[in-house]
Structure 1
Amino acid sequence: MLATKSNSYTFQKGGIWYFSRRVPTDLWRHYRTGRIAYSLRTKSIRDARVRAMNDAAKLDRHWHILRISSDDLPGKHLLADAVQEPQAETSIDDHSFKAAVVVYLRLKGNDRPPTFEAAVKRSCGYLIDCCGMKDLHDYLRSDATQFRDYLFAKGLNGSSVARIFGTVRAVINLAISEFGLSIINPFTNVYFDQSQGVKKRIPVKPEDIEKVQEECYKADDEKRWLIALVADTGIRLGEGAGLLRSDFVEQDGILCVNIRPHSWRSLKTLSSERLVPLVGSSKWAAERILAQSTDSRFAFPNYNDGKRTNANSASAALNKWLKSKIGQGYTIHSFRHSMRDRLRAVECPSEIIDQIGGWLTHGVGNSYGKGYPEAVLLKFMNKIASIDPV
């Protein structure tokens, strides 16, 4: 007799736990069946849950890659050979947009995650669909403005259009330099409203931060540790989800989280690499993580397979839980916006705020030295620390 349980993706049969998950309808063509099911080879519900969540995260990653690599991507049929063979040499006289993509991926794609290549492919595919595959000399300013209008007509918001334009502009700029062309990139300085269609993220209110933290202390599990860590540090979700247990370190007697790049999770900018003192719920989360008896080196093993941090899976699960606790309008990234406001409220200098959050501080002088010591950062972090666990 089949016995199903409430925990996700598992069912029990004959005392053995099995994994079961439906294949999304848009990916059916990649499978011979509409459901993936197999034995987890354990009678332990605890082991089954861990294995099932790890396998579900791997599937999410694989399905994400399948989707962004789909044959339905715009212009992919024109770029397929270029993207699949980024190391291939192109003719010295070939100054086509396809050749530009080959050069860009060859020079910029080393040691980058699969999503980097997919993003380049997707952005360049949009241009090909809109304006066609041309020699770089043949793209005009009118193509750039047509491309802008085309992207907005597809329903993309201003920030997405800016990101796509940035990729296309970078591909062409690099090719112009590498090919030694005397042309002006027509995709430079194209005006568009970057705020169009963009929803402003709302910082989490102080009382809602405390409510979330109280719920995290009650649940006391991996997902809530990650939320609690983000809530009182303002780190990016991907930064937190990709941490190792060894990234929690003591610096001059202060427990800190060491935000540094890893092969499975890069950082957004150079300024993102930093040490952040832990206070309040973030310190509680670190202590709970370090207290666990586990063979995994990852702080959040359910979101890491050793090759990639599945921040998308983490975001979907955590945002859903947040909405159930404090309502619509908030996402996990909202805590990052809150952190800046909370530090402003205690009159924290902007340079210290930037160092804590890993934001870029402009000015030549700011690149000198090592920055503020952790004791100074801790002084302001202690001023904003929310409720302690009860």
Structure 2
Amino acid sequence: MLDESSVSEILATVRSFIRNDVVPLEAEIDANDDVPAHLRKAVKELGLYGFALPEEHGGLGLSMYDEVRLVMELGYTTPALRSLFGTNNGIAGHTLMAGGSPEQQAEWLPKIASGDVVASFALTEAEAGSDPSRLSTSARRDGEDWVLNGTKRFITNAPSADVFMVYARTDPDAAPARGISTFLVPKDSPGLTVGPKDAKMGQFGAWTADVYLDDVRVPHANLIGGDAGLHRGYLTAMQCLAHGRVHIAAVCVGLAERLVDETVGYAATREQGGQLIGEYQLIQGLIADSVTEYRAARSLVLDVARDFDSGADRRLGPSAAKYFASEAVGRIADRAVQVHGGSGYMRGIAVERFYRDVRLFRIYEGTSQIQQVIIAKQALRDRMT
């Protein structure tokens, strides 16, 4: 694991890259729905495709605490940039880390960590989003192969993915959460088709699409975890999502910091009625609420990350962090638009773009309502046992 000096150097390098190279191109990324090629190249050279993956497989091996500090820097700009490599470090890469066999990890993780392979996490379906245990994609054994059929929805990086971590039902007679397995499915597998890019409200430059599996045949060796991984896909998914929720919470903190900066900067320079709007107490109230929520979210995420690293809490804390930070950044974005007034409603203004971008964080990696259920059930379980 890297020492604090090395981590501090990485954070400083990423901070400079984000603020000097990416921020000036945000409007272009939003308008073109694409991240420029030179930025894609730069993030590979910085090692950002593997910061959360093990050092022995070519990653940086950051702890959860160090990861969230890095992700807060990445969150300061358009979420589209982080989305390029987010699934490699997060739910897709961690599918292999949590459930993969040593042979699968050795074969795939170095390519994922380097960015030579883009991995997608194919779990969500039209009728199995908040409750993935109800997924209907099937996988049946046929000799030495598995045959997959089904449709996955809203799959991040699907249009550019090289491999998909596909969650499918391998035992239709088992309880919903007990009959699911995970498969490595290369993009060029016959029968696998990626639909057109989704037309979203925000986060332009971050691509999602449906993935169709029509008698897709993969060898038994592509069953993640091998024989030991059969029917363990749901448990693997839950482990990956817990990590992902802390990660997403950190993104929200980075965005909250940026929105606070945009809000304060505008209030300190914009005049109305012959004085700076920041001198009006009602504007100061909006700023105070946003600063307080940003700082509270940041402290919560760092605290949850420490407990994640120690193993003290990898369930309630991640959900609490994701719930609070995603809701807070939504409120902070709303206040930012309000402080900007009519200008904040205009395209081309940063807070308008972020207002659209942050709305998604209350939905994916488990909606706010799902986080409420997890938090309450865990709190009650801890008291009742």
With normalisation by structure 1, the TM-score equals 0.25
Q: Which has the higher strand share?
A: 2
Larger radius of gyration: 1
Higher relative contact order (CA 8 A, sep 6+): 2
With normalisation by structure 2, the TM-score equals 0.26
Q: Which has the higher helix share?
A: 2
